[in-house]
Amino acid sequence: MPDLDLPEALELPLATGEPYWYFLGGRPSIDLVNTFRERWRRRVETLVTPGDLAAWLRRAGLLDPAATPPRGPRGHAALADARALREAVDAGVVAAVEGVAPPAAALATIDGWLAAADARPTLRPGPDGQPLLARTVPDDPVRAALAALALDAAEALGSPAARARVRICAGATCSARFYDRSPAGRRRWCSMASCGNVAKARRHRARQAPSDRGETER
């Protein structure tokens, strides 16, 4: 279980955000949103470099370890695209939680990626010469991964039933977004092991406080 609290002594901007990633969002597109930490306070960017983006996509299972991500200006452009997509998805998440329409610009950003979301099937000779149905290898694997994230976001935001399961953690000092996959659909916390336990302990202390005061007065 990752520690969801960032250290107080945190030198910003970070050199790399990799130590501070967590994957509790329930969907890869919402995990992407959670790469921008502490939205309620310090607003900490953890996709700091193109290398961070490639490492995060690998951790998310969206980029083949053998794939060569773009470098130089193309790498920085991909990083900018990833951040823009992330914020568009977050705008959709916030709107879903608040029960309002998302900004048109956010929908347009997500929609703009969807055409690249599916690799074209091909039929080619396999190693033994027999036909093998496969998917085309994308020319730009990072762009393909971002398109897959956009498709996942569209699936999360594109129907009333799915939108009803989009959440922001109820923790007072947590900005984690998540997709509620619980059977009852009533999750309030990004994780019971972190924010849920903090809230439980706080309620327990509040219940104990009156009796503690009474014992002191006696």
pLDDT tens digits along 88-114 = 999 999 999 999 999 999 999 999 999
Residue 210 has pLDDT above 80, yes or no: no
Least confident of 105-119, 132-146, 148-162: 132-146
Question: Count of CB atoms within 10 A of residue 11's CB?
Answer: 7
The pLDDT of residue 92 is 98
Q: Distance between CA 73 and CA 71 in Å, rounded?
A: 6
User: Confidence band (pLDDT; 50, 70, 90) for 4?
Assistant: confident
Q: Give pLDDT tens digits for 191-203.
A: 866 685 654 555 4
The pLDDT of residue 47 is 98
**Residue range 176-205: mean pLDDT, rounded:** 76
Structure tokens at 49: 């470099």
* Ordered DSSP codes for 20-43: G----SSSHHHHHHTTEE-TTTT-
Looking at CATH, the fold of the domain delimited by 18-217 is given as Jann2411-like fold (1.10.3300)
Q: Which residues contact 204 (CB under 8 A, 6 or more apart)?
A: none
* ∠ CA 91-96-102, rounded to 5°: 45
Domain range annotation of the chain: 18-217
CB 140 within 8 A of CB 126: no
- Look up the pTM and report it: 0.85
Structure tokens at 205: 């202390």
Tokens 């347009």 map to which residue? 108
The pLDDT of residue 204 is 41
User: Confidence band (pLDDT; 50, 70, 90) for 1?
Assistant: very low
Nearest in space to 45 (alpha carbons), one of 80, 71, 2? 80
Amino acid at 6: L
Tell me which H or E stretch contains 75. helix 72-98
**Residue range 48-77: mean pLDDT, rounded:** 96
Residue 80 has pLDDT above 90, yes or no: yes
Q: Using the 8-state DSSP alphabet, how is residue 115 labeled?
A: T
